[in-house]
Amino acid sequence: MNRQSEPSAQQKLANIRAPWVTGVAGLSIIVTGFLISIVNASIETPNTFISMTLQPFIFVGLGLLLYHIGQHVHAMNQNVILMVDGSGPTKHAPEAG
């Protein structure tokens, strides 16, 4: 594949909406699970079904957050490779003065 025609990391992240959506979804799942566990622990007789389902619920949230982080790391890695090759998006004009 020609490196000149390859889009930059910013363009890739702009075209892929999954990292932003998965990050928000993962964080909201974890926060929701935390709040549910606090409510469940504060009642007189905690519900065992809620207690058993919180762990997989939080694992799904963590998985979505890891996917979110991995997409950004992948895009940053490709951006660094393009900068090392000299065809990166950070070609700046020399500063005056």
Q: Evaluate whether residue 34 is within a structural domain.
A: yes
pLDDT of residue 76: 76
pLDDT of residue 51: 85
Give the range of the structural domain holding residue 46, as residue numbers without chain letter.
19-84
Name the DSSP letter for residue 6: S
pLDDT of residue 63: 93
d(CA 28, CA 3): 38
User: Which residues, 6+ apart, have CB-to-CB distance to 74 below 8 Å?
Assistant: none
Cα-based distances in Å from 84 to 11, 16, 55, 65, 88: 18, 24, 43, 29, 8
Say if pTM beats, i.e. exceeds, 0.75: no
pLDDT in tens, the chain (97 residues): 555 667 766 676 666 655 678 889 999 999 999 999 999 999 889 888 888 899 999 999 999 999 888 887 877 777 777 777 776 555 554 555 4
Query: How many domains does the chain divide into?
Result: 1
User: Which residues, 6+ apart, have CB-to-CB distance to 50 below 8 Å?
Assistant: 36, 37, 40
Q: Evaluate whether residue 90 is within a structural domain.
A: no
Q: Evaluate whether residue 61 is within a structural domain.
A: yes
